[in-house]
Structure 1
Amino acid sequence: MKLTKRLILANAATVIVPLLITALVALVYIYFIANFFGTEISYTSYQKLSEIRLELTGSQSRLLNNPEIIKQETFHAYLREQMANLNGEVIILKDDHLLFSSRNFSKIEIAKALEIADRSAPQPFSKEYLKVGNVQYNVEQITVPFPDATEGKILLLAPYDRAGQNFLNLLLLLSFTFLLSFLLTNIVISYQFSRRIVQPLQYLQKAAAEISKGNLDLAIAEEGDQEIQELCRALELMRLKLKESILTQLKYEDNRKMLVSSISHDLKTPVTTIKGYIEGILDGVANTPEKTDKYLKTVYHKARQVDQMIDDLLLYAKLDLKQLPFDFAPTDVAKYLEEFCAECEPELEQAGIKLTCVSQLSKKQILNLDRERMRRVFTNLLDNSRKYMDKPMKEIKITLRETPQSIVLEFRDNGAGISKEDLPHIFDRFYRSDQSRSEVKGSGLGLAIAKQIVEGHGGKIWAVSHGAEGTSILISLKKR
């Protein structure tokens, strides 16, 4: 659920729930009053009681403005008429002497009315009533000061109406119930709402603290409302990316160590050879011009080997760090392969290797190639095949064919083949089988460089071993 939706529902519940509770209490109160007390609740009665109050308030205002009016018979008649409409009575006193009474009240009843009026003055229409016969009256007292410093009192007696009082009590009960239920509902909903938000946030805080300590193994579950779940999801992705980044960094560190180890191992042999031959020249071992020339040629050859290894290493480093841009150009792949084979064929013939290039394309295919980089790939594959030739009739066959989505080049030789254990690793940098490491010359980066360049073209490269019959290296490039 969205947080905004939950806020709307929570705010609505803080009003709806108290209203429902209040309505339920009203029904229970009405049922209780009707069945156990045999009385009713009447709005009409309450309205009548309100009219009485307004009438008494209006009379009090007129009397304060003109106190002498209470002695006039016309005012007595007017007041009697108004109170008669409400079934009420009126008593007018001056210095406790009776001036007018709408009915005959005993002195005891008048004294009791005065006593009730004095006690009820702070709270008009309190629950203390004057009972005259079978009728109960609410007593309202109006004090009228006279110019001669005497004091007049008007006692207005409004008949007590049980149904109206029940309605007034119901209003008070409902008001109290609504306020109490509103307060409790707010407390409960606020607690649940904050709990729904605070608990996931506390968990996120814990997870963030663990991440800051370097612990990236604590998975962040998606909890809470939709917005909080999205936050959890974002932090979990961040955790996974950080973990992946650290693992990649560790992998790079391991590769760096392996790189240093491999470079040290592969450079040690030619450097040792160079050092040995130079010492032979210095020590006079090469005591003839022919021997000296032989030593110097060997040193030169080994120096070129070291130089080639360094060039391959720099090229691979640039490819691996994506620092070497590709210069793609539309290329007729069949024609490009034909030109490459024509250039390489004489050199391979001198080495006793037969090179065959076959195109099985049904029509001209144009690919976006970096011609110089792809030539490096082809050259590396041919060099790799040459190193492992062990047959009297040495052959390399390059076949160009197509699939519905790609162009495939296969470089197949009839060399020693590759064991199943070595096959998954031949494109790793500096990888050689233990048997070939001491026998085969090179940087150990040829196939790794070829893989980087092919993948830079959006293609794939893989190897298939034919056992003792040789090996195939296949390149797949997507069609335009």
Structure 2
Amino acid sequence: MKLKDRLLMAFIILIAMPVMLLAIAAGTIVRLQMNSIEESYDVETDTLQVITNPIQILNRLTRGYYNEIKLAALKSPEQLEDKEYIEKLNRELMGKYSFVIVRKNDELVYVGNEYKLRLIKDNLQKFGVYNTDIDGGLYTGGKHPFLIKAQDFYFKDGSEGTIFVITDLNTLVPQIKAVATQGVISFIFVLCFTAVILLFWIYRSILRPLNILRVAMNQIKEGDLDFSVQAETEDEIGQLCEDFEEMRVRLKELIDNRLQYEEDIKELISNISHDLKTPLTAIKGYAEGLVDGVAVTPEKQIKYLKTILTKANDMSILVDELAFYAKIDCNTVPYSFANINIHEYFNDCIEDLKFDLEVKNIQILYENDVDPKVEVIADAEQLKRVVNNIIGNAVKYQDKQKGEIRIRIHDIGSFVQIEIEDNGIGISEADIPYVFDRFYRADASRNSKKGGNGLGLSISKKIIEDHDGRIWARSESGVGTTIVFTLRKSTKHNENAEVSNNTERMSKI
């Protein structure tokens, strides 16, 4: 969920949840209070009336009795002078939290509840004050709330009379106040509950990931690049965590590569020192021999000079290889790509290599099953460097009395595959994945004797990849090694091959 959707949801929750919870709380509270009122006053109620006009509920309690009194006052007022009738009416009203008072002129002739009379006596209005045409009564508040209904009539002797129906509200009013109090408490509780839920949600989805990111940044600042950050959501925060993790991994790789590069440079310098020290020692020794007159004969002098020249050439080759590696490592090697006939090119290579290999008692075998017209896109000089590097390694690590190098060329569709196999000491299975890494040498002690700086195959790999090809190795310790690489055919040949195939298919049809 996106961060903006989370914020929108938080806004909706902030509005909807309090309303929903308040509705549930208010409904529960009012329902409980209504049940209590119904049980206390034996009257049916509804929620709206409790909220809008709670006193009307009490009016409903005694409405039947009051209408009966009102009818008697109009048609048979003498009935209101009957003490038995008044007592019977008072007993029935007692079940409704009510009682009857009868007044004649200013004297109370009947009181249904003496105790409550003392609480309400000062609120009894004089004759003719009450409007008996309006259904309801007079509400008296204060410490002891009552509802007073009154009906005026005349006694037989012409005296002014008033009959009062008094309803005690001491039970109802506290319940109504309790509804309001509980409503306020519920409102506060709902707001607090909603705030806690939102705070927990925001902390879990926003603040906690940001805090983890802050901790991770501090770890990186202290140099710890192993502190991983996992995205827990798919929103912007989660994307930020993923980007941070990618940055951390990339930074760690760069630093590890830099450290490895520094180690490789140290190893390279050590290898170069060794590789330069050997010819330099020879050159120095033979030069001192010439200076000191050790080589007294012309033949010996020529031998010394040839040795010095050979060692100088070895040093020159090493320096050239290092200079070339510096260029290829910075992608500044200028390639001169051209269409090269694969048959003619490798025939020339074999002729150039055959004599040198025969001198070292190494036989070279050549197989080519590619169409003689096939051309590849390559830089002839750089491709020769690749072949020489591979063959040079094969010669360097040859341990058999009679060495053997096989060159096989196959057609594999849009590419030509070249395999160069030797029967030398081979490479262990654990070392095969690393043989094309720069400065890598499978056996440091053995290589120190053989010489070399571990750049040959690395340079070859870069050249082949720049030719849009692939290079890999197969090997078995003690049996030999095969280096395989591919070269793309020229576009012209691919088009001709496609036309030829189409023509052949048409002829068959």
* TM-score, scaled to structure 1: 0.66
3-state SS, counterpart of residue 222 of structure 1? coil
Report Cα offsets for 1:180-234 as digits up to 9, x if no partner: 2442233322332343233333333222222211122333233467443333333
| Partner of residue 60, structure 1 | none
- Which amino acid in structure 1 is aligned with residue 141 of structure 2? K
Asked whether 1:210 is paired with 2:224, we answer: no
Is contact 2:33-2:179 (8 Å) kept? no
Query: How far has the Cα of 1:288 moved from its partner?
Result: 4.2
What does residue 127 of structure 1 align with? 141
Matches of 2:191 and 2:147, distance apart in 1: 44
Partner SS, residue 418 of structure 1: coil
Partner residue of 2:31 out of 23, 27, 30: 27
1:186 aligns with 2:194: yes
Range moving further from structure 2, 397-406 or 202-211? 397-406
Post-superposition shift, 1:38?
2.5
Given that 1:331 and 1:366 are in contact with CA atoms closer than 8 Å, whether structure 2 keeps it comes out as yes
Question: What is aligned with 2:17?
Answer: 13
Q: Does 1:37 align with 2:48?
A: no
- Between the two proteins, the alignment pairs up a number of residues equal to 393
Structure-2 residue corresponding to 1:349 = 355
Match among 242, 260, 266 for residue 257 of structure 1: 266
Partner of 2:504: none
TM alignment of 1:54-453, pairs within 5 A? 112=123, 127-128=141-142, 172=180, 176-177=184-185, 179-196=187-204, 197-223=206-232, 226-319=235-328, 321-325=329-333, 327=335, 329=337, 331=339, 335-349=341-355, 351-352=357-358, 355-361=364-370, 367-387=376-396, 395-403=404-412, 407-413=416-422, 415-418=423-426, 420=428, 424=432, 427=436, 429=439, 431=441, 437=447, 440=450, 444-453=454-463
- C-alpha displacement at 1:420, in angstroms? 3.6
> CA-to-partner distance for each residue in 1:421-441, whole Å, 9 max, x for gaps?
796365453637578647656
Of residues 166-175 and 23-32 in structure 1, the stretch that sits farther from structure 2 once superposed is 166-175
Q: Would the aligned equivalents of 2:440 and 2:454 in 1 still touch at CA under 8 Å?
A: yes
Q: Which amino acid aligns with 1:34?
A: E
The AA in structure 2 aligned to 1:314 is A
SS at the partner of 1:382? Answer: helix
Distance 1:447 1:205, change over 3 A: closer
- Residues 371 and 30 (structure 1 numbering): CA distance in 2 closer, same or farther, change over 3 Å? farther
Change (3 A) 1:446 1:337: farther
Amino acid corresponding to residue 342 of structure 2 in structure 1: Y
Pair 395,222 (structure 1): closer, same or farther in 2 beyond 3 Å: closer
Matched, 1:464 2:463: no
Is there any run of 5+ residues in structure 1 with no aligned partner, and where? 52-102, 115-123, 137-158
Q: CA deviation at 1:132?
A: 8.8
Secondary structure of the 1:275 match is: helix
Whole-angstrom distance in 2 between the partners of 1:452 and 1:207: 37
**Structure 2: how far apart are the matches of 1:195 and 1:178?**
25
RMSD of the TM alignment (CA)?
A: 4.5
**Distance in 2 separating the partners of 1:232 and 1:269:** 55
Assess if the C-alpha contact under 8 Å between 2:427 and 2:477 holds in 1.
no
SS of aligned partner of 2:416: strand
Which shifted more, 267-276 or 281-290? 281-290
Higher relative contact order (CA 8 A, sep 6+): 1
- Percent same amino acid among aligned pairs? 30
**Contact 2:145/2:168, CA 8 A, preserved across alignment:** no
The change in CA–CA distance for 1:316 and 1:419 in structure 2 (over 3 A counts) is: same
Q: CA deviation at 1:380?
A: 1.9
Query: Structure 2 CA distance, aligned partners of 1:316 and 1:194?
Result: 55
Change (3 A) 1:374 1:105: farther
Distance 1:211 1:328, change over 3 A: same
SS at match of 1:268: helix
CA distance in 2, matches of 1:176, 1:104: 48
Deviation string 1:225-255 (CA, Å, 9 cap, x unpaired) is: 7443333333222222222222222211221
Give the TM-score normalised by structure 2.
0.63
Deviation per residue, 1:249-269 (Å, 9 max, x gap):
221122122111111111110
